[in-house]
């Protein structure tokens, strides 16, 4: 037996694990709201032929909603408010695609997803360029060393000049854009793309409403020149400029975060989507070793380990179950295996394990590094928890963001106290809201703390529709949250326009009305503990 096989986890050789991990491509789609993330997610699934017809984000008459936007509120609003996982096979690859909320109110959910991926697709609206939320999420990708593929979307609508967009990417992100395809026709007149890798022309044909795969015709440069004339010649000249400035793809520079491959597309028309899928499979990195909490590395061939990056309830309205999404980091996952829950040290049975495709799920028997698996009714698991087999390991905790909006939550019907309590506990464990309590307010009036006010809407909607406990929220005049401790709490509670509350884990949180009041109080009491709730950046 070779040395690599001797390191094998039970149930498979290390060679098997390496081979299977090399097939995985796990990535997230990130962007500013309304740039077309969910539409692109659907289009990728359509091109992989795992669905027969794409939906529409805005749910226009006679058209379906997107697979990844499964919540009622998402369908009604036409935006993503929770991350979604889709897994499918394409060519010889297994794709784990994570769609993320674009709205800044749900950025905490997006940040957690970015801990579970190996690459990101940064979606840019051709007319708007790089927007605020896109830049925030890009900064997280850069900090975590996540390679980024850029897609300029909505090229079928009027927008900026293509070369102008390349300059904007370079100046604002510091990455050198290396287009793989280049548009033939200005924004709003999307005829096809020049493939820089072989100089050919991929010409697109529209389909009714973009619901099916857009037929592509590949033409030689000579045939393209005859067919398109001036738009083709302009594309050729611009591509020559890119080459002269050194904007050519080099795989090592992409993986090192120096460059970003760029493709042009129209997700709603399914133009350029196939090229993106081929690029992801061909260029995005496969899973590698993951850094542990003690600074070491858990290699993919080590015994099984995974971490929980998301908990979601309400996906199955018939059963009201709770799904913990885990990213497998090492070894082989086998349904039914008993693993160790690192936080508690207790055994955890994985009897009910599923692969997820939007809201649809199917049981799985085996999974490998890079895969995202849903564990059903995993009540003991919380966001950031580590699971392992054989050799102990703990992965770094996920960052909790400092809330900026606060409201007292009360049930409308006192006879539904059990449903109220269960719902609040569920939302807290999922990270939909942070739940804060105090003796002063009592258990029946917890304070909900959120990063953005739209999270309140999600919480109230779910409390009524999933848990049968309609609630009222009374907004509180606080905007700043700080970590404090039991010794400091009595004095902090005397501050003007301030209050001390506790998280479910017992941590003390001091909330203040404004930064000026906080500053004055800290100057008077420099010996008290008041520090940022965000201990580290992702």
| CB-neighbour burial class of residue 420 (10 A; exposed 0-12, middle 13-18, buried 19+) | buried
- In angstroms, the CA 135 to CA 273 distance is 23
Contacts of 234 (CB under 8 A, 6+ apart): none
The sign of the dihedral angle between the CA atoms of 185, 191, 192, 194 is negative
* Centroid of chain to Cα 197: 30
**Pairing verdict, β 93-99 and 84-90:** antiparallel
Residue 330 in contact with residue 305, Cβ under 8 Å? yes
Q: How far apart are CA 515 and CA 518, in angstroms?
A: 5
Distance, in Å, from the CA atom of 306 to the CA atom of 371, rounded to the nearest integer, reads 10
Of 196, 201, 167, 169, nearest to 181 by C-alpha is 196
Task: Give the whole-angstrom CA distance, residue 530 versus residue 482.
Answer: 6
Annotated binding site: 99-103
Contact 137, 121 (CB under 8 A): no
Distance of CA 432 to CAs 109, 445, 456, 474, 480, Å? 8, 17, 9, 18, 19
Binding-site residue ranges for GTP? 99-103
Q: Are strands 471-475 and 93-99 parallel, antiparallel or unpaired?
A: unpaired
Helix (H, G, I), strand (E, B) or coil at 387: strand
Contact 295, 396 (CB under 8 A): no
The residues, ordered by sequence, that sit 6+ positions from 3 with a Cβ below 8 Å of its Cβ are none
Nearest CA-CA partner of 143 in 171, 101, 109, 174 = 174
Strands 176-179 and 181-184: unpaired
Q: How many CB atoms lie within 10 A of CB 256?
A: 11
Supply 206's token pair: 């529209």
| First-to-final CA distance of the chain | 41
Contacts by 2-7 with C-beta closer than 8 Å and gap 24+?
4/301, 7/301, 7/302
Contacts of 396 (CB under 8 A, 6+ apart): 291, 292, 293
- The length of the chain in residues reads 538
């Amino acid at each position: 037996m070779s040395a690599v096989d001797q390191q094998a986890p039970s149930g498979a050789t290390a060679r098997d694990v390496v081979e299977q991990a090399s097939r995985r491509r796990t990535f997230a789609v990130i962007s500013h709201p309304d740039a077309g993330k969910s539409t692109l997610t659907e289009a990728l699934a359509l091109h992989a032929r795992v669905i027969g017809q794409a939906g529409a984000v805005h749910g226009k008459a006679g058209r379906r909603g997107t697979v990844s936007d499964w919540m009622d509120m998402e369908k009604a609003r036409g935006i993503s408010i929770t991350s979604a996982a889709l897994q499918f096979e394409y060519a010889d690859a297994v794709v784990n695609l994570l769609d993320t909320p674009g709205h800044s109110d749900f950025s905490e959910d997006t940040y957690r997803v970015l801990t579970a991926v190996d690459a990101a697709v940064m979606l840019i609206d051709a007319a708007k360029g790089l927007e605020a939320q896109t830049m925030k999420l890009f900064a997280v990708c850069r900090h975590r060393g996540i390679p980024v593929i850029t897609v300029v979307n909505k090229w079928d609508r009027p927008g900026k000049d293509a070369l102008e967009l390349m300059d904007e990417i370079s100046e604002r992100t510091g990455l050198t854009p290396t287009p793989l395809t280049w548009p033939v026709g200005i924004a709003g007149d999307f005829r096809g793309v020049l493939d820089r890798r072989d100089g050919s022309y991929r010409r697109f044909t529209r389909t009714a409403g973009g619901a099916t795969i857009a037929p592509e015709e590949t033409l030689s440069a000579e045939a393209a020149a005859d067919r398109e004339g001036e738009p083709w010649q302009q594309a050729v000249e611009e591509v020559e400029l890119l080459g002269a400035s050194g904007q050519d793809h080099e795989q090592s520079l992409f993986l090192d975060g120096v460059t970003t491959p760029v493709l042009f597309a129209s997700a709603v028309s399914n133009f350029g989507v196939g090229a993106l899928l081929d690029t992801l499979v061909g260029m995005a990195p496969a899973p590698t070793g993951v850094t542990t909490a003690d600074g070491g590395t858990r290699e993919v061939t080590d015994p099984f380990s995974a971490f929980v990056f998301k908990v979601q309830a309400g996906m199955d309205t018939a059963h009201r179950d709770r799904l913990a999404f885990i990213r497998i980091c090492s070894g082989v996952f086998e349904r039914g295996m008993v693993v160790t829950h690192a936080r508690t040290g207790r055994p955890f049975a994985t009897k009910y394990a599923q692969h997820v495709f939007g809201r649809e799920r199917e049981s799985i028997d085996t999974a490998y590094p890079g895969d995202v698996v849903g564990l059903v009714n995993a009540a003991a698991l919380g966001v950031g928890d580590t699971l392992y087999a054989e050799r102990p390991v703990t992965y770094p905790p996920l960052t909790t963001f400092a809330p900026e909006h606060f409201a007292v939550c009360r049930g409308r019907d006192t006879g539904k106290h059990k449903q109220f309590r269960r719902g609040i506990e569920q939302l807290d464990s999922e990270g939909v809201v942070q739940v804060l309590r105090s003796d002063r307010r009592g258990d029946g009036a917890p304070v909900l703390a959120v990063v953005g006010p739209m999270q309140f809407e999600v919480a109230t909607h779910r409390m009524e529709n999933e848990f049968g406990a309609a609630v009222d929220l009374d907004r509180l005049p606080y905007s700043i949250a700080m970590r404090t401790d039991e010794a400091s709490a009595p004095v902090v509670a005397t501050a003007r326009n301030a209050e001390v509350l506790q998280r479910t884990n017992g941590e003390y949180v001091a909330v203040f009305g404004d930064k000026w009041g906080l500053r004055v109080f800290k100057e008077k009491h420099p010996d008290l503990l008041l520090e940022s709730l965000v201990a580290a950046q992702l």
